[in-house]
Amino acid sequence: MSEGKKKHIRLDFAPGVRLAFTGTEVSADAGVLLLREFDERLGLTDALAEKLVDPRYPAFTKHTLRDLLRQYLYQIIQGYADADDADSLRIDPALRLAVGKERFEEPLASQPTLTRLENMILARPTNLRVLREANLEWVETARKLRDQKKFVIDLDSFEDPVHGRQSRSAYNGYYEHRIFLPLVALDGETGDVLAAELRGGTDYDIDPIMDLVCPLIHHERVRRRPLRVRADAEFARPELMERFEQYTGLRYYIRIKSNAVLEAQIEAFKTPPPGRPPENDPIVQHTSFHYQAETWPHPRRILAKIEHWPEELFPRTGFIVTNDEACTPEDGIRFYNGRGRAEHIIEEGKNALSWDRLSCHKFRANRARLAVHVLAYTLAHLMREFGMPRSHEHWKIRTIREKLLKLATRVTRGARMVFFHLAASFPQKLLFLRVMKNLQRLPVLDTS
C-alpha cells in the first residue's frame, strides 16, 4: 500500500467512502479577530503585559506574558472559560493569529502553562494589583472616549457555589451551600465593572469591603470627580459611611434594615390615604427624617418609602441612609433603585464569562482568576460599546459571541498572505463589516 493510501480511513459500512485529514485549516472562532482588532487599537493587553512581573527564567520561556494574557482573555470571551480548553484551542488558526501574528506558525500555550500563569505568576500580590489597576485603566480609556461626565459606583456581592474544598470556601447558611462570596463594584451609569474582591464563604468582615472601595474612591477623588455611591444593606457599615463622609462632594445612598425605631418614625404613613386605591398599582408615599443608630457617632438622614398594595393588610417599607441633605425623598429613592442594573451585569458576568467558575485550590489563584475574568468582561463590554451599532448595543455578550464571534472560516496560505475565507452566506455579514469599520475608526492610543 502506498504512503498516500495509508492516510485514508475506510468505512466498513460504506466501502466507497474514504476519510483523510488532508483538508485545509478551519476555525469556528474567526470572530476573535474582532477582539484583537479592538485590543490593538487601544493597546490594552500590550500596556498590561508591560507592567506585570515575570518571574520565569528568560532562557526557558517560550510564551510571553502578553501572549498568555491574550490567549486566556480571548478564549474566555469566546466561551472557553477553563484552562483545560487550551489543549484543543492551541492549534486554532484564528486564535493563533489573534494572539500574535509572529506566533501564527506555532501552537499556543497548553493547559499546564495557563495553570502556572494563574497559580505562579498572576497570583503574586504585585501582579494581582497590576491586574486590578489595569482594569481601571481600561475603564478610564473608555471614559475619555465617551467623554463621561457622571460617575456612580454600585456596590454588590454574589454567591459563587463551589464543588470541592477550595481554600477559604465555606458553607453559608443563608445560601445553604458551600460558596465563595465575591464583592463587585460597578459604574452604574455605563455598566463598566470597576473592581472585584474575592471573599471566603462566610467572610463578612469590613476589611475586604474597604480593600475594594478605598482604591476606587481615591481613584475618583484624585480626578476631582463628583461621585455618588449606591449599596445594599450589607454595606451599611459605620466605618464605610465615615470614610465616605471624609470626601467632599461624595454622596452615598445605602439601604439599611428595618427596626422598631425606624418603623415608629413612619407610623403616620402606615394608614392608607383616603380615596379609592388603584386596582393593580400600589399607593406610594415618601418621607425623610434623621436617625442615630447605637454604632453611629452622629445622626444621619433616612429616606423612607411606604407602599400600600391592594389586598395587603400591612404596607411594605424600605429605608435608605444618605448624606445627601438636598435631594427629595422621592428623588433619592428613585436614584437608589437604579442600582438594579448591577444585578444584571453580575448575571451577565456569571452566565457569559463564568465569573463563578473559581475552581483553583489555592485562594490566591482564585483571586487571580476572578481578576482575569473581570478583565475579560471589560474587554468584551467595551468592544460592544464602541463596536456595535446603536441598533445592536442592547445585545448581551453571549448573544454577540453566538451570532458574531463564533464564525466559521477556512484558512489558506499563500507565499506572502494568509487568507481567512468566511462563509459568503454568513447571516451577520453586514453587521460584522460594520463592527469592523467602527473599531477601525477608533483612535490608535500610545501605550508607551
Q: What is the DSSP letter of 273?
A: P
* Spatial separation of the C-alpha atoms in residues 216 and 185, rounded to whole Å: 9
DSSP element (H, E) containing 87: helix 86-89
CB 357 within 8 A of CB 376: no
49-54 long-range Cβ contacts below 8 angstroms, 24+ apart: 50/447, 51/130, 51/133, 51/134, 52/121, 52/122, 52/127, 52/130, 53/124, 53/126, 53/127, 53/130, 54/121
Sequence-ordered list of residues with C-beta below 8 angstroms from that of 373, at least 6 positions apart, any chain = 76, 81, 349, 353, 354, 355, 357
Question: Residue 435's pLDDT is what?
Answer: 97
- Rounded to two decimals, the pTM is 0.92
pLDDT in tens, the chain (448 residues): 344 445 788 888 988 888 877 777 899 999 999 999 999 999 999 999 999 999 999 888 999 999 999 999 999 999 998 888 999 999 999 999 999 877 688 899 999 999 999 999 999 999 999 999 999 999 999 999 998 988 999 999 999 999 888 999 999 999 999 999 999 999 989 999 999 999 999 999 999 999 999 999 999 888 888 899 999 999 999 999 999 999 888 999 999 999 999 999 999 998 877 767 677 788 899 999 999 999 999 999 999 999 998 888 889 999 999 999 999 999 999 999 999 889 999 999 999 999 988 989 999 999 999 999 999 999 999 999 999 999 999 999 999 999 999 999 999 887 788 899 999 899 999 999 999 999 999 988 765 5
* Closest C-alpha to 25, from 96, 99, 110, 103: 96
**Within 13 A of 182's CA, how many CA atoms are on the CB side?**
26
Q: Check residue 3 and give its pLDDT.
A: 44
What are the extents of the domains in the chain? 25-113+391-428, 250-338
- Please identify which residue in the block is written with the cell numbers 475618583: 220
- How many angstroms separate the CA atoms of 413 and 174, rounded? 58
Q: Are 77 and 396 a contacting pair, CB within 8 Å?
A: no
Characterize the bridge pairing of strands 25-27 and 250-256.
unpaired
